[in-house]
Amino acid sequence: MSVLFISDLHLDANRPEATRAFHRFLDQRAASAEALYVLGDLFEAWVGDDDDSPLAQEIIAALAQLAAGGASVFFTRGNRDFLAGEEFARRSGVRLLKETSVIEIGGERVLLMHGDSLCADDTDYQEFRAMVRDPGWQAQFLALPLMARRALAAQARDASRVSTRGKPMEIMDVNAAAVAEAMRSHGVRRLIHGHTHRPAVHEFNLDGERATRMVLGDWFRRGWALEWDEAGFRLEAFDL
Ligand code: MN
């Protein structure tokens, strides 16, 4: 029995190798796992559940096949696919998780997040995030034609590339106080998240107790997955 965690695949028609690796991962690893948690940014962009692009259809079908085989598949929205909604969930068979969710695994409470909300030092990004997470903004955006939404998403990605290029690395990493506060308020000593693309296992002291923050990696040069089984957690990389 194992449980798998992945995030930040950023699947995109321009990187077919990542999509192929995802199919392999589903067939070879996830199909025999009890559960798969996708902690955001599965897609490079998600402009609405009515997206009829071949990539969106292909990934929905692959997830649906996995779910039909008996695996439980959970999905936390990332900052790229925050518009993934009920229709996406219905068609893919995934269960949408809230921005923060606590699961119990091996008798331990574990907090799951995408991780972007922890990057509190990146104030430009947090402003943008507050805007696009607003239900009114989302309703307006989703009312636009698909073509217009795709164009706006491409523009936003270009703008984000320009803005992140000039930002010091530590600004774009998680803020230690935000991490401590999230863990404290959820009563956990283990947090799993992605987003920063800095895969690592951080051990630290939280209010006198040992705490662990496990960061998933992206699927660019390699792929990353965190696996849990009776022996514990293992964060590992593999070739795409
Ligand atoms: Mn992200």
What digits encode the pLDDT tens for the residues 93-139?
999 999 999 999 999 999 999 999 999 999 988 999 999 999 999 99
Q: What is the pLDDT of residue 160?
A: 82
Q: What is the pTM of this model?
A: 0.96
Which H helix or E strand runs over 104?
strand 100-105
What is the pLDDT at residue 157? 85
Cα(206) to centroid(ligand 1), Å: 25
Q: How close is the Cα of 189 to the center of ligand 1, in Å?
A: 23
pLDDT at 212: 98
| CB contact burial 171-181 (16+ within 10 A = b; e otherwise) | bbbbbeeebbe
User: How far, in Å, is the centroid of ligand 1 from the Cα of 114?
Assistant: 7
Give the pLDDT confidence score for residue 169 in this predicted structure: 80
pLDDT at 203: 97
Q: How far is the centre of ligand 1, averaged over its atoms, from the C-alpha of 117 (Å)?
A: 10
Question: Which listed CATH number (3.40.50.1820, 3.40.50.300, 3.30.460.10, 3.60.21.10) goes with 3-239?
Answer: 3.60.21.10
Quick one: tokens of 172? Answer: 């774009």
Residue 221 alpha carbon to ligand 1 centre in Å? 17
Query: Residue 145, class by beta-carbon neighbours within 10 Å (0-12 exposed, 13-18 middle, 19+ buried)?
Result: exposed
Output the CA 41–ligand 1 centroid distance in Å.
5
Domain ranges in the chain are: 3-239
The two structure tokens encoding residue 3: 């449980």
Identify the H or E element spanning 28: helix 16-28
Of 132, 112, 99, 121, which is closest to residue 172 (Cα–Cα)?
A: 121
Q: Can you give the pLDDT at residue 84?
A: 97
User: Distance from the CA of 133 to the center of ligand 1, in angstroms?
Assistant: 14
Taking the centre of ligand 1 as the mean of its atom positions, its distance from the CA of residue 208, in whole angstroms, is 30
Q: Which residues of the chain have pLDDT under 50?
A: none
Supply the Cα-derived Rg of the chain in whole angstroms. 17
Q: Which long-range contacts (CB under 8 A, 24 or more apart) does 22-27 make?
A: 22/59, 22/62, 22/219, 23/62, 25/223, 25/225, 26/62, 26/63, 26/65, 26/66
* The 223-229 sheet, strands edge to edge: 95-96, 72-75, 35-38, 3-6, 223-229, 232-238
